[in-house]
């Protein structure tokens, strides 16, 4: 087995007295899709936010593309990176949230091209050209000049995916990207995610879309109360769950 592209080792996180994560360990190989399922409050989103360094872990470690996230070793001791160094590490990941978080005063084209121009100092026309390509890729080539308020929820989420891709991330993180959408709008977003997976993008997806997990996922992980209860292929976990907690959860969602 090759060195995992994303390696999560014994990660724990508490918020006051609430234990959000306890000794979570997972591997994600480059070019694969890991789908994370579980009830609300099981720790899925917290884990995703730890990978993106929006939440600081209490113990354990996370390695992305060989780099220890948020920390470095100096003189044999661990030291936390500066915010600027963490921001540079974060450029390797693209994150798509439940809520689209688009800038309401910017068009779709401006939303997608903004970060490359401001953060990576890409030339304006180059960034806008790439943004046009990405919006066309997600099926919104005719919505370049539309503002978020003029777009459906599904269209806004596809703009958000294009915006994340504009930074050329090595890992895409999805936090229940269809949970805020009306049912008839879910399919277009999932189609974009399927195309991303086929292109070889490494993806870490928190989802309640079991059909997507079964069809697209390479790994399926069930979490409950901050721990990994069961992990395996989607076929095995969904078709033959080994743990009672997994069976109980799946009986309610399938």
Helix axes 108-118, 124-137, angle to 10 degrees: 130
Say which residues have a Cβ less than 8 Å from residue 17's Cβ, sequence separation at least 6.
none
Say how far apart CA 220 and CA 213 lie, in whole Å.
Answer: 7
DSSP character string of 123-142: -HHHHHHHHHHHHHHTT-TT
DSSP label of 2: P
The CA-based angle 162-167-169, given to 5 degrees, is 95
Say which residues have a Cβ less than 8 Å from residue 165's Cβ, sequence separation at least 6.
94, 134, 137, 172, 196
Say how far apart CA 238 and CA 232 lie, in whole Å.
Answer: 9
Say how far apart CA 82 and CA 76 lie, in whole Å.
Answer: 18
Q: What is the pLDDT along the chain (254 residues), one digit of tens a residue?
A: 568 999 999 999 999 999 999 999 999 999 999 999 999 999 999 999 999 999 999 999 999 999 999 988 887 888 889 999 999 999 999 999 988 889 999 999 999 999 999 999 999 999 999 999 999 999 999 999 999 999 999 999 999 999 999 999 999 999 999 998 888 889 999 999 999 999 999 999 999 999 999 999 999 999 999 999 999 999 999 999 999 999 999 999 88
Tell whether pTM > 0.85: yes
């Amino acid at each position: 087995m090759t060195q995992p592209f994303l390696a999560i080792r014994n990660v724990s996180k508490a918020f006051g007295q609430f234990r959000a994560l306890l000794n979570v360990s997972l591997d994600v190989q480059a070019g694969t899709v890991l789908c994370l399922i579980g009830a609300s409050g099981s720790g899925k989103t917290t884990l995703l936010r730890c990978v993106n360094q929006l939440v600081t872990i209490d113990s354990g470690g996370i390695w992305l593309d060989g780099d220890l996230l948020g920390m470095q070793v100096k003189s044999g001791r661990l030291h936390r990176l500066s915010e600027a160094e963490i921001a540079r590490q974060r450029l390797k990941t693209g994150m798509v949230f439940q809520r689209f978080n688009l800038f309401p005063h910017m068009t779709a084209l401006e939303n997608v091209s903004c970060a490359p121009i401001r953060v990576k100092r890409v030339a304006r026309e180059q960034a806008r050209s790439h943004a046009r390509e990405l919006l066309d890729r997600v099926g919104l080539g005719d919505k370049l000049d539309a503002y978020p308020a003029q777009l459906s929820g599904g269209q806004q989420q596809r703009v958000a995916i294009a915006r994340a891709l504009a930074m050329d991330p090595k890992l895409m993180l999805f936090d229940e990207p269809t949970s805020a959408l009306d049912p008839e709008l879910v399919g277009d977003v999932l189609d974009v995610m399927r195309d991303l997976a086929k292109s070889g993008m490494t993806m870490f997806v928190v989802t309640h879309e079991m059909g997507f997990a079964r069809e697209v996922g390479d790994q399926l992980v069930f979490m409950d109360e901050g721990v990994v209860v069961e992990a395996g292929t989607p076929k095995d976990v969904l078709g033959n769950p080994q743990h009672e907690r997994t069976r109980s959860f799946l009986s309610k969602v399938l």
